Chain A
Amino acid sequence: MTDPHEPEHNKMQLKGIMGWVEYRLPWVGLLNDSVGTNYPTPRNLNYWWNFGSLAGLALVIEIITGIVLNMHYVPTAEGAFASVERIMRDVNFGWLIRYVHANGASVFFAVIYLHMFRSFYYGSYKNPRELVWWLGLIIFFLMIITAFTGYVLPWGQMSFWAATVITNLASAIPVVGTGIVQWLWGDFSVGNSLLGRFNSLHYALPVAIVGVAIIHMWALHEHRSNNPLGIDVKGPQDTLPFHPYFTAKDLVGVGVFLLVLAGLVFYAPNMLGEPDNYIPANPLQTPNHIVPEWYLLPFYAILRAIPDKLGGVIAMAGSIIILFAVPWLDTSKVRSAKFRPMYRQFFWLFVIDAIVLGVVGANAPEGNWIIIGRLATFYYFFHFLVILPVVGWIESPKPLPDSISTSVLGDKKPVAEPAE
């Protein structure tokens, strides 16, 4: 059977009903080309490459638990808090589903941050994977909006006041600001209308995330994964089929991921949450400290680092927008930090800076925290705008190995060597 019109990937020899379906809808072939034996993958990927599949798993967990929660949730200012408590008390396994959903969001963000730092360390965003990076950033942005709208739904004190603070940011925009805020609220105050639309958005945006994630993988599969050496695949000796090698490796990550999630859900389900959110929303009483969930604290710190409201909003938006320029701000042609002695130092400084910003975001903006917050915010932008381009120009990278296979097999190093 040599039909010239039949595309290369469509050569799954299946019998019976599977063959009948495959001839018409080559789904087994598609899977095989995407995560199967026909998807060549750099043989030297280390465990830092597990976070993509884990992010997908986290998304699925969030969607499934979220659909079930929404069956019982009442999106009104009067009923929301009590409906969440009903889920915790009277719905069969409701407590489990809600704790998985709430802690799943935290673990999802942790996975995404590790996935992004992997990209920073190994230069995965560089030519020709700029659009893979962009699509990932769009997912990240959608995740932030989804997580924030979700944080508001239980309608506790933190929900209400976080919604108030964040929607009020739009009022910093000159002239039209107040109008925009009221448009966001659908009312003259934070209340029922806002809760209803946040519920709607919280349900709708994950669908968009699924869509962008598919395009993210589509773009990835064109030039395939980067690898710890950051050099291109030169031939079949540099790769292994995705299945069974990387399916097996991804499953190890899945096991560890589920252990972490289960540890949180069963033994510390409220550790990452704010106690104030178990107090019903009260528009007349502002909590002492209004804080977002931990995964948004660095951005919250940047927002508060600028003494001017509009300036803070611009800085916070800028801190995410600037990430889109990273493939061009990083002027080095060498991808992996393994061969970039100078960049590697700055990578770790940036990691520290991000953690410092998180700590600053968790603390009330007083005393030294203000100064630390401003310095860390300055360094955040300095890293991208100055360090990335300049280091690329002045650094002399170490010599790159000839190929993945000689590097990996030549000196009998283990394939899956741990990252630095």
Chain B
Amino acid sequence: MFANFDFNVIQRSWVYLFQTGMTFTLELTALAMIGGIILGTLLAMMRLSKFRLLASVATGYVNLIRSIPLVLVIFWFYFLVPYIGAWLIGASEPIKVGAFSSSLITFILFEAAYYCEIMRAGIQSIPRGQVFAGYALGMNYWQTMGNVVLPQAFRNMIPVLLTQTIVLFQDVSLVYVLSITDFVGAASKVAQRDGRLVEMYLFVAVVYFVLCYALSMLVKRLQQRVAIIR
């Protein structure tokens, strides 16, 4: 069945695939995860805030982002970021934004909506009495959140946050629509140059499967370890 195929193409392009492609994918995943979790936590705090305006702005944002496809969001920000940049620094022309920063901004803003829902569940899983206890001890909102609620919320939600990160890792492949050289982009460039689509795409699928499966097994283990015994 594989007689006509030339799997040496993988060996030939190995360095390009991993040094250029996978590095981009992993860097983007890591930075978007950190940014997404920070922004997502802030959004979650806004959604749960007693100030109606803050709550509805955050709710509206999260619902909006969650109801449109990631591909469309990627296109949106690809064109929007240069204008926002120009507006921020007061330039008259849209500024030039590199492929990496543009996709990083996109993924932080997109994934934040999903991380927000996870963190909201995490914050809501903490008994209300702990917040009251914090206030009773004389702590303010930020102190109560930072020292009492959020550490526990994070701990409870680590497995879910990591599962979402695996999803993010897979989602990053969609930067392909902007012809950016991530792992899939690199593979598809080699595939088209050498006419080896079958070999390259099978290889990409195997690499993703191995990585994601290993990560999800790790998350499962972690889930058993971090579970707080009540």
Q: Is the A/B pair a real complex? A: no
Chain A residues in contact with chain B, CB under 8 A?
A: none
